[in-house]
Amino acid sequence: MSESEDTDNRTPDVEAILNEAQRRIQERMQQEIPPGQRAWVDTLNRFVFWLARHWLALFNTLTALFLGGAVLAPVAFQIGLPGLANLLYAFYRPLCHQYPFRSWFLFGPQLAYPLLEPVSVAEMNALRLFTGDVSTGYKIALCQRDVAIYGCMLLGGLAYAILRDKREIRPWPMWRYFIFGILPMLLDGGIQWLSYVVWVLLPGLIPTPFETTPLMRTLTGALFGAGLVAIAYPHLNAYFEDVYHTLERKLDTTNLSLEATV
């Protein structure tokens, strides 16, 4: 067999196959998408391309804003902006129970006011609306557990942003997240909830329902939030890296096609 025949029969490498497949996909998309929609598709592709590169900064920023808004509510009361404070409490109310006896307080003599004796469900729901006053300080618009969850998500996200370029970070397996992240919060909050159900439905069976402590709410929330970053962010990073490189080839192909038609 001659050298030319050997060259013709040589199997193309993987990169050549991928490039050819990408070219054909691009040609098919150019044919299938109407010209009037092309600009919207290109804009969406570029937005996803940007998101794939900056998703972590966006996630960290949104987490910081969400947590910061909850802390801003008592600050707004303290500096004389009750309208803003009430608006913030109303925004977070569908997202958190906001029980004052399970929340942190700012600008008062104590950081927390745990229950000294159990209250009925009706009383608990009525207490949701108590935001604080001059004598007690003002509660943060998220409960102690939620503050710990989002606070550790923010700290974990910032740590991940620093470390991911220096070393490979493997995601936690699901069993580890369940044991260290989900199970502690499930036991702490679940036993508390179940004890209240028994106390209400079966009076006299238990003298008082179990009420967990601010420390346990914070600890279990912190484990849940940090574990969520450990299991989810490496997977998200791998996904967005794949999206980024795919769109990078696609946008390069589109730009070359446009240059060829000019």
Q: What is the pLDDT of residue 258?
A: 38
Q: What is the pLDDT of residue 118?
A: 85
Q: Which residue has the tokens 């937005």?
A: 47
Q: What is the pLDDT of residue 10?
A: 53
Q: Give residue-wise pLDDT tens across range 204-238.
A: 888 889 999 999 999 999 999 999 999 999 999 99
Q: pTM for this structure?
A: 0.81
**Confidence class of residue 104 from pLDDT cuts 50, 70 and 90?**
very high
Q: Give residue-wise pLDDT tens across range 37-82.
A: 666 767 787 888 888 899 999 999 999 999 999 999 999 999 999 9
**Confidence class of residue 22 from pLDDT cuts 50, 70 and 90?**
low
Q: What is the distance between the alpha carbons of residues 142 and 151, in angstroms, rounded to a whole number?
A: 11
Interval 89-108 mean pLDDT:
96
Per domain, the residue ranges of the chain are 49-255
Reply yes or no on whether the pLDDT at 8 is more than 60.
no
Phi/psi of residue 109, each to 5°?
A: -70, -20
Q: Are 102 and 143 in contact (CB under 8 A)?
A: yes
Write out the two tokens for 249.
Answer: 């080839």
Q: Are 229 and 153 in contact (CB under 8 A)?
A: yes
CA atoms in the 13 A half-sphere facing the CB of 91: 16
Q: What is the pLDDT of residue 23?
A: 66
**Confidence class of residue 243 from pLDDT cuts 50, 70 and 90?**
confident
Mean pLDDT, the chain, integer: 86
